[in-house]
Amino acid sequence: GGTTKDDASKDNGSAAVGKADPDAETKKGLTVAFLPKQVNNPYFTTADKGGEKALDELGSTYKEVGTSSGTDTAGQVSYVNTLTQQQVDAMAVSAQDPGALCTALKQAMRNGVSVVTYDSDTNKDCRQVFVSPASAEDLGRTQVELLAKQIGGKGEIAILSAAQTATNQNTWIDVMKEELKKPAYKDIKLVKTAYGDDDAQKSFQQTQGLLQEYPNLKGIISPTTVGIKAAAQYLSGSKYKGKVKLTGLGTPNDMRAYVKNGTVQEFELWEPAKLGALAAHVAVALESGQITGKEGETFNAGDLGTMTIGADGVVSPGEPTVFDKANIDEYDF
């Protein structure tokens, strides 16, 4: 723990209910812990690196802890508890489960730790601010747009998701379904949502199954980095390469080979580093008393500019980036 932890925890003892002072001085020397869904996951590593960089610039300390499995909720809870014990100043958590972390997070807040969620949210009374990668509406809408454009606005499509319980996947899928009801997409039929559990092999076989079950399938949306990568690998080694379109959320490094060999035309993702950086700024702003997590509060987020907290304490770094053959080599994450 840092040297300031004692006074920090004292004067923020009731951070959640305190009053925001936008002009308060930005504190230095804080310890902010990142607790991703899974350590060693390249996506989260990039995001957390972003957070680390931002914290460096802010003069605070970064640390990362977490479970090596993405579905070890109990493990995540015990990490929250440990962080509470270690009296870090703030934690940025990507929740594996919206409810399971609640008790532990509330306990953390009672002990004066500021709690930010990023990437995946918990119930909203269990954290102060949620840093959303991009708004669910944006993500759902743009992915449907991308695929519709590629398949010429008509035909059967399917979704390849991660686990059935993945909260943000489900939110995006709901938005996509709403979106598809629009008249512009009346010739597109969503035939199935398959779940690959964010496991390369399972996602792979689910893709096979989709293509066997729906021989007329024109396109697949996979709003998960593992899923899109597995689907792309299967398509690129099969007779469907280039014929069945694939889009969704993926990282440029994962997808580079498939974009170049023509399996995939376009896909998108926000920049995870920005997500992490924003989470870091939010955490420091909370600890400094500049914000409390209420709608309308504003704070300075460094390179990202001035940010405003939206409804339900959600803030997001902006629209996702679309990657294609032309721009993919400009990115490295």
**Closest distance between other proteins and the C-beta of residue 287, in Å?**
20
* 14 vs 165 by CB, closer to other proteins: 165
Cβ atoms < 10 Å from Cβ of 245: 25
**Total H helices, total E strands in the chain:** 10, 14
Contact 246, 185 (CB under 8 A): no
* 147 vs 166 by CB, closer to other proteins: 166
Cβ atoms < 10 Å from Cβ of 215: 8
**Closest distance between other proteins and the C-beta of residue 248, in Å?**
16
* 75 vs 318 by CB, closer to other proteins: 75
β-strands 90-93, 114-118 pairing: parallel
* 128 vs 203 by CB, closer to other proteins: 203
Amino acid at 295: E
**Closest distance between other proteins and the C-beta of residue 201, in Å?**
7
Residue where the block lists tokens 């001085």? 25
- In whole angstroms, give the CA distance from residue 13 to residue 110: 7
* 66 vs 289 by CB, closer to other proteins: 66
**Closest distance between other proteins and the C-beta of residue 99, in Å?**
3
SS3 content of the chain, % helix, strand, coil (to 5): 45, 20, 40
Cβ atoms < 10 Å from Cβ of 218: 19
Which stretches of the chain bind other proteins, using CB under 8 A?
Answer: 39-42, 44-45, 63, 65-69, 71-75, 77-79, 81-82, 84-87, 97-100, 102-103, 123, 163-167, 170, 192, 194-195, 200-202, 204-206, 208-213, 215, 229-230, 233, 236-240, 253-254, 256-258, 260
Written as six digits, the tokens of 109 are 């807040």
* 85 vs 327 by CB, closer to other proteins: 85
* 233 vs 290 by CB, closer to other proteins: 233
**Closest distance between other proteins and the C-beta of residue 78, in Å?**
5
**Closest distance between other proteins and the C-beta of residue 125, in Å?**
11
Q: 128: exposed, middle or buried (C-beta count within 10 Å: 0-12, 13-18, 19+)?
A: buried
Length of the chain counted residue by residue: 333
Residues 3, 85, 165, 37, Cα dihedral to 10°: 40
Q: What is the DSSP string of 172-224?
A: HHHHHHHHHTSGGGTTEEEEEEEE-TT-HHHHHHHHHHHHHH-TTEEEEEE-S
**Closest distance between other proteins and the C-beta of residue 252, in Å?**
10
* 186 vs 260 by CB, closer to other proteins: 260
Residue 179, φ and ψ in degrees, nearest 5? -60, -40
**Closest distance between other proteins and the C-beta of residue 186, in Å?**
24
Structural Rg of the chain based on CA atoms: 21
**Closest distance between other proteins and the C-beta of residue 39, in Å?**
6
* 29 vs 98 by CB, closer to other proteins: 98
